[in-house]
């Protein structure tokens, strides 16, 4: 096992989640790729969750509990791990977002975080962020989008100003990809 990131489970809930995941995966004799295939997630996601670079989604936590027969262990840790990348002032909203029947979003400068692609979000969030914090907050923002992939997603109404749509974020390719994502949605 070359170049394994050392995990300190006392560092954060996300690190605890990752350490527990790695421990169970190692005991089962599985590689990250094998576990990813077993729970129908990407190897990259398993790697990032295991190293606390990405917050786990509720669905992934449930699949890990089912795969490892751990009751609700991962599902209980997931909301706490996911909160760590969300600013304190936004946490109550993010909690409500997961259970809402409808969401109404207004953004006047950039596309809403709930609809952003990863490259666009990285550029929006980059100013004033340390690289280690940027990865964690970016992963949390992307995990928030799980609400749109639920079996019964909320009704979403979005109002964007022309400025939010026309502003080039990062570069033209990133902005074009973001606008394409909006069209897909």
Q: Which residue, 40, 42, 44, 84, is CA-closest to 62? A: 40
Q: Is 1 helix (H, G, I), strand (E, B) or coil?
A: coil
User: What confidence score (pLDDT) does residue 79 get?
Assistant: 81
Please state, for a pLDDT cut of 90, what percent of the chain lies above it.
50
Question: What's the token pair of residue 138?
Answer: 């970016």
CATH of the domain spanning 13-83, picked from 3.20.20.120, 1.10.260.40, 3.60.20.10, 3.40.50.300: 1.10.260.40
- What would the pLDDT profile of 52-90 be if each residue is shown by its tens digit? 877 788 889 999 999 999 999 999 998 888 777 666 677
* Domain spans of the chain, in order of start: 13-83, 95-184
Mean pLDDT of the chain: 87
Q: Percent of the chain, pLDDT > 70?
A: 96
Instruction: Write out pLDDT tens, residues 101-129.
Output: 999 989 889 999 999 999 999 999 988 77
Measured distance CA(88)–CA(120) in Å, rounded: 23
**Residue 100 corresponds to which tokens in the numbers above?**
């809402």
Does residue 7 register a pLDDT over 80?
no
Closest CA to 61 of 31, 98, 102, 7: 98
Residue by residue, DSSP assigns 9-40 as TTS-HHHHHHHHHHHHHHHTT--HHHHHHHHT
């Amino acid at each position: 096992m070359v170049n394994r990131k050392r995990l300190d489970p006392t560092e954060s809930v996300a690190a605890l989640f990752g350490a527990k995941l790695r421990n169970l995966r190692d005991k089962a004799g599985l590689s990250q790729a094998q576990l990813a295939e077993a729970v129908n997630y990407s190897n990259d996601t398993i790697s990032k969750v295991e190293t606390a670079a990405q917050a786990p989604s509720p669905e992934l936590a449930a699949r890990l509990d089912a795969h490892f027969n751990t009751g609700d262990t991962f599902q209980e840790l997931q909301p706490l791990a996911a909160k760590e990348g969300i600013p304190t002032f936004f946490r109550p909203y993010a909690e409500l977002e997961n259970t809402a029947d409808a969401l109404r979003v207004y953004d006047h400068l950039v596309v809403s975080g709930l609809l952003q692609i990863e490259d666009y979000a990285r550029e929006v969030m980059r100013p004033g962020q340390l690289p280690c914090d940027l990865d964690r907050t970016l992963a949390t923002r992307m995990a928030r989008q799980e609400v749109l992939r639920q079996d019964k997603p909320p009704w979403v109404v979005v109002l964007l100003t022309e400025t939010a749509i026309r502003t080039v974020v990062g570069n033209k390719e990133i902005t074009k990809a973001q606008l394409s994502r909006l069209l897909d949605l």
